Amino acid sequence: MRAWLLLLWLPFAALAAGEGAWEASTGGTTLTWRGVVASSSPLAPTDNPVGMMNLVVWRYELNGPTPAGLLVRLCSLSRCVPIEGGQGTTRGLTGVPANEPLRFVWEVPGGGKLFPMMRVQSSQVIVNYK
C-alpha cells in the first residue's frame, strides 16, 4: 500500500521541485513574399510556470511544398534559435524563463513573390522546464 501511495505522490513532488512542462499550439500564417519575415501567434503557457526552459519539442506543418531556402527560427522574448525540418527538439532556449511565450519565425530570403505562397497549417511546442 505504501509503494502505491509513493507512486501517486511522485508527479506532485516533481512539480513542487519546479519541474514540469507546458504545451501550446496555434493556427497558421501565410508568407507571400520572399525577403519578408512572418511570425506565428505567441505560444504561451496557460499558467505561470516557475523555472527555466531546458528542452523544447517543436512541430509545424505546411499546407503545401516547403519553399527552397526556407529559414525557420523558434524565438523567446530574448533569444532565437534556428530549427530545421518540420519537427524536432532544441536545447537552444535552455535558461530562458519557462513563462516566456515562444514564436515561430519564417523567412524565405530573396525578393519577389512566392509561388505557391507558403501557408503554415499548424505549429506546436512542448516546453520542458526545471
User: Residue 12 — pLDDT band, cuts 50, 70, 90?
Assistant: very low
* Domain 19-129 coded CATH 2.60.120.260: yes
DSSP letters, 47-106, are S---SBEEEEEEEEEESSPPPTT-EEEEE-SS-EEEE-SSEEEE-TTTTSBTTS-BEEEE
Average pLDDT estimate for 106-130: 96
pTM: 0.83
CB 80 within 8 A of CB 4: no
Residue 115 in this model has a pLDDT that exceeds 80: yes
- For residue 18, the model assigns a pLDDT of 56
DSSP character for 97? B
Q: What are the tens digits of pLDDT across the range 62-107?
A: 999 999 999 999 999 999 999 999 999 999 999 999 999 999 999 9
DSSP character for 17? T
Per-chain mean pLDDT for the chain? 88
User: Residue 110 — pLDDT band, cuts 50, 70, 90?
Assistant: very high
Residue in the structure block whose three cell numbers are 535552455: 94
